[in-house]
Structure 1
Amino acid sequence: MFIQALKEQLGEAPLSPGEVAIVGAGPGDPGLLTLRALCLLNQADCLVYDRLVSPDVMALAPQAAQRFYVGKASRCHALTQDETNQLLVRLAVTGKRVVRLKGGDPFIFGRGGEEAEMLVDNGIPFRVVPGITSAQGCSAYAGFPLTHRDYAQGVTFVTGHARADGSLNLDWPALASRRHTLVFYMGLTNAELIRRELLANGVPSRLPVALIERGTTPQQRRVITTLDRLPDTIRDESLTPPTLIVVGEVVSLAARLDAGCLAEAVA
Structure 2
Amino acid sequence: MTTEDFKRAAAEAALAYVEPGMKLGLGTGTTAAHFVELLGEKVADGFDIVGVPTSEATRELAERHGVPLTTLKDTPELDLTVDGADEIDPQLRLIKGGGAALLREKIVAFASKRMIVIADATKRVEHLGAFPLPIEVVPFGKESTRRAIAKLAKELGGSGEVDIRRAEDECPVVTDSGHIIVDAHFGRIDDPQKVADALNRIPGVVEHGLFIGFAERAILAGPDGVFELEPLDLSAPQRKIA
Structure with higher helix content: 1
Q: TM-score, normalised by structure 1?
A: 0.34
Greater RCO (CA < 8 Å, at least 6 residues apart): 2
Q: Which structure has the bigger radius of gyration?
A: 1
Q: TM-score, normalised by structure 2?
A: 0.37
Structure with higher strand content: 2
